[in-house]
Each structure stands twice: as structure tokens, then as C-alpha cells.
Structure 1
Amino acid sequence: MIKADDTVTLRHGAMDCRLAPACGGSIAAWTLTRAGGLVNLFRPASEAALAGDFAPDMACFPLIPFSNRIAGGRFTFQGRRVEMPTDVGSPHRIHGHGWANPWRVEEQTRSTVRLGFRHRADAWPWSYSATQIAALDDDGLTVTLAVVNESDSDMPAGFGLHPYFPKPPGTRVTAQLDGVWESDATILPCRRHALPPAWDFPRGVAMDGIVLDNGFTGWNGRAALEWPGLGLSLTLRAEGPFGHLIVYAPAGEDYLCLEPVSHMTDALNRPDEPDAGVIALPPGERLTGVVRFQVGEL
């Protein structure tokens, strides 16, 4: 159970951001106070979620040191065979370590917090440290991710964020993408296609009735949400090795996810894909990326 004193609340102007470091370094809520009342910019964690410790019930969580799925939890990297246990309810290993472990608060001011997490080699046979900095300013929220390889050999490294956005009627998403991976029944990529007309995100897609759980390619690090009923937009700007966007819009739900990630799903088992995105991080080196969420008026 997450206690009130286990959370951190950042404030700047009309925005608040509440984090639950012990629950996978997650953000529990990000809100904007307007003349008409409080607006949730991320889908907030419910009270039931805050009574548990499951990061996907939160508003946003980090994906470190890989995102999405590794088929069967198995891969080979630079001749080393790795076998990890699969996750409950899935035949695959999902989202790395960060979301499933507590993070510690390393530094905090009124509007910024730095969280840290350290992994010691186990079934994932590399040690590494990770940091996540969340900061509010006049225009929005910035999250900075970093991973440092603390092993004596190259480590396959990647990261991303898994934010949940409200999806009120009329929500529209625009993003520069050039292709999509068809997913199999276990959400692994199986075939790459050009964007179909229904998913023409460069022109903008109204998300009412859209059901998706797919990886998209050719992303330039920019995506925009429009909420006409609120008169608001939210622009996502990713700087660093973010070449892929996961779009998750489950049937019957009032939220969607736009996940900026550094590699495709199951990238470690796709060495022949030219844009797979796996990074061989040398010993002692750091991988850094910044994701900015900027709020604007329509």
C-alpha cells in the first residue's frame, strides 16, 4: 500500500505533479487548475491504484532498460545467451525492471525531483544505475531519463515512458510516422506495413472508436494530442534516441497511451531490422533522453 508520506508532490504555477517513487518510479497524477476547475493532463491513478503497488495503474511509469516485450524472455547479445523469467499473465518479459521496483528520492525542490534506481546483475546479467528527473515549469512537465552501464561489458540499453492520457470524445492525435508493425496475439510485431488510412497519424486521427496496441516506425520525436472539448492541446517532444512510438488505445477505455521509446518491440531478437534501435552501451557510459510534455490552448 502506498502511504501519503511515500508520495512526492511537485508544484509550479497552476500545475501539480504527484509521484509515487516506491511504485516503480511512477507519476500518479499531473493536473492543471483552470478557471473552470481541475484538468487531468495524465489519466490519474485511482484511489484503488494508490492502495496497491502496480505501476500500470498509475499515470505514467518509466521503461528501463528496455520497453515492451522480449519474446519468451530470451535473447542473444554479442554472443551471450540471456534467459529471464517471463511476467505473470504473459509468455514474454515486459518493460524491464524500473516499473517493478521502488525508486529512491535523491534530490527534491518545490518543482523538481530526481529519482534513482540501481540494478545488480541477475538473470539480466548487467549491473546498471538509472535516474529519472521530473520537473514542472510554466509550459508543462519534463522527464529526463538516464541509464549508466556499471558492468565490465557492453549492455543492450534502451528506455521509454509509458504515459496514460485522458481520451474524452473528440480526442485527436497527430504524429509524424511512416509505418506500423502488425501485432500477433501476444503483442509481438509480426509484419511491417505502410500506414493504413485509418491510422494516418501525420494528417491527424480522431481517436473515437480507434483500438490499437502497435509499434510505429519513423517517428521524429514529436506528437500532439488535441482535446477540443477542453480547448487544450498537449505536445510531446522527445530528444535523444527515441525513434519509435507505441500507441495503445484499448477498446472501451477512456484513455490512450503514446509511449516514446528508443527501440521497437522485441528489438533484441530482431538484429536484422535496420531501425530496431538496440544500443550497445559500453562500460561506464551513460544513455540519456528527455521527454517534454507541453500544454497549450487550442
Structure 2
Amino acid sequence: MQPQTLTLDDGVTRLTLAPQTGGSIVNWSVLASGQPLLRPSDEQASNAGTPRKLACYPLAPWSNRIGNGGFENPAGWLALEPNSANDPLPIHGSAWQQPWHVIEQTDRHACLQLDSAIPFAYRAQLRYTLDEGTLTIALSVTHLDSRAAWHGLGLHPYFPRTANTQLRAQAEHVWLCDDAGLPTHLEHLPAHWDFNALNVLPDTRLDNGFTRWDGNGLISQPDLGYELECQATGSHFFLVFCPPGLDFFCFEPVSHPVNAHHLPGHPGLQLLQQGETAALSFRLRYRGV
């Protein structure tokens, strides 16, 4: 059964959302040409029932993988089970696997909300706004459990990729990973992973986190005739996922490195008490070239 969707339109671009499928974006495209600005989702992708087939989904109350079967909170150990058939480790939190509800909607704006009890009580809100070709996604989470817990946030957008797609996003180091996808150590950027200036995406697999990001980025699509200017807040890290031979890549703003729950100092995570909130936003501005 095709999920219920809602559509936003600012006269320049159109955004389609699937609230019940993890609060996901189905499509974002240019009205005049139909050009997809995120990886396009056809009917089969929409009917698959998973955000991983769609264009973008939220990551809360953490992003990416967690090792060791869970993590330590002040109140004690929180055990986690793997939550995806594609990965042996817990991944991307719990928000993407639950239905969200629409609590506000206009022609150009929608606010979705999730009240979750997994893996602890929290309330998440997603605000999607279109404004003359600019998409803003604002994600927040409020801790509702009586016991404090570590929180992290992220967004997981998929972008079209051609042979000449380029990315610019400043970073100091990249985390190298083990076979499970968990970070092992920081390295200076190799030339083929250096996006401080516009650089083409690598032909080999890239699925790594980058540090000390200033929140600004540019995705150049010369073969498709446009650019996306990117700006993130609440995110000093980003991940790039480039699966070889496929026509998409992911550029993910995140508040913390992979497996930060087990890194010294819990970099980028926030220990939230009941009623406290963490937030992250991502703005994508379309410009035809």
C-alpha cells in the first residue's frame, strides 16, 4: 500500500513527505523542469515501507553505528539490539523506524512530531520549510525520560550522482574505520577525500566521518545544471557515503562522530536531563547554473 504523503510547494520547488515512513522526504524537485534535487523515489521505493529507499530521513537519538551492544548512561548500561537487516550493529537511532504525525501544515511548511519510548522516552520534531527554492530541515529532540541519557542527531539525505558531481565541505581530519564501520583513528585528509575545495567524488567506497566542519558546503551538479548551497547548524561533523557504481551519494550533517558513545569525552553528544532539548538544522539552497 502506498503511504500517505503531503506536499509543499513554494513556486520554485516541490517537496513530498511521507510522515508515516519515518518522517521521510520522498522527493524534492524543481517545478519548472522536474529535475530531482534529492535522489528520486518512484512508486516502488515509496511502497517499500523503509526510509532507506526514499530521499532523506532523520537520525535520532543518535546517528550511525554504536558498538559494544549498547552504551553507558549515568543511570547505568543501556543495551541495544541490531535494528536493521543490513547491519549487524544498532544504527541511526529509533526515529527513522517509527511513524510521525503532522501537527502543523501550510503550503510551504510542515511540522512532524514523534513521541517515542524507544530506547528511552523522547519527543522529536521535524520542521520542513520551503522558501523560494530553499529547503530548511530542522530536527529537535526533547528528553522525556526521568533518567538522563546521551543524545545525538543527524540527517540522512541521498543526492543524485553523475561522473562530474562535486562536493565542497571543509574538514580537518577523517575517521578511518574497521570492517564493522566503527572508527579506529583520525587521519589527515587524503587527496581523493579532501573536499576543502570542490572535488569529485571517489570511485572507491567512502563511508567515513569528517571532523571540525564549519557547517557550510556546496554540491555542484554540472551534468544536471544546478548547485545546492548547504548550511548546517548544530553539526560540527559530516559523513560522506559513496557506494561504488551507484547513481547516488549521501552527505550527512551529524552532531557527533560514529560510535561517539564509546569515544573519549563523548564528542558531539549531549547528556540531556528530562525536559532538555537538542537541535540540528540543514538548509539546502537550489541555484540553477
Task: Output the TM-score relative to the length of structure 1.
Answer: 0.93
Instruction: Tell me the amino acid that sits aligned with residue 40 of structure 2.
Output: P
Aligned counterpart in structure 2 of residue 277 of structure 1, from 244, 249, 268:
268
Work out the CA distance in 1 between the residues paired with 2:210 and 2:17: 28
How big is the shift at 1:272? 4.2
Contact 1:169 1:208 in 2 (8 A): no
Structure 1 equivalent of residue 129 of structure 2: 135
Runs in 1 of length 4+ with deviation above 3 angstroms?
A: none
Alignment partner of 1:290 is 2:278: no
How big is the shift at 1:90? 2.3
Contact 2:10 2:131 in 1 (8 A): yes
Stretches of structure 1 that go unaligned for 5 or more consecutive residues are none
Work out the CA distance in 1 between the residues paired with 2:243 and 2:163: 15
Structure 1 equivalent of residue 61 of structure 2: 65
Cα distance per residue 1:204-241 (max 9 Å; x no partner): 2112625310011111111110011233110110112x
Work out the CA distance in 2 between the residues paired with 1:113 and 1:249: 30
Instruction: Tell me the amino acid that sits aligned with residue 53 of structure 1.
Output: G
Work out the CA distance in 1 between the residues paired with 2:204 and 2:106: 40
Instruction: Tell me the amino acid that sits aligned with residue 111 of structure 1.
Output: R
Q: How many residues align?
A: 288
Give identity over the alignment, percent: 35
Structure 2 equivalent of residue 209 of structure 1: 203
Work out the CA distance in 1 between the residues paired with 2:51 and 2:80: 20
Structure 2 equivalent of residue 55 of structure 1: 51
How big is the shift at 1:297? 3.3
How big is the shift at 1:30? 0.1
RMSD: 1.4
Contact 1:23 1:55 in 2 (8 A): yes
Task: Output the TM-score relative to the length of structure 2.
Answer: 0.95
Secondary structure of 2:258's counterpart equals: coil
Work out the CA distance in 1 between the residues paired with 2:218 and 2:205: 18
Structure 1 equivalent of residue 163 of structure 2: 169
Contact 2:13 2:133 in 1 (8 A): no
Structure 1 equivalent of residue 93 of structure 2: 96
Stretches of structure 2 that go unaligned for 5 or more consecutive residues are none
Work out the CA distance in 2 between the residues paired with 1:110 and 1:297: 23
How big is the shift at 1:189? 0.8
Secondary structure of 1:69's counterpart equals: coil
- The residue correspondences of 1:17-32 to structure 2 (distance < 5 A) are 17-32=15-30
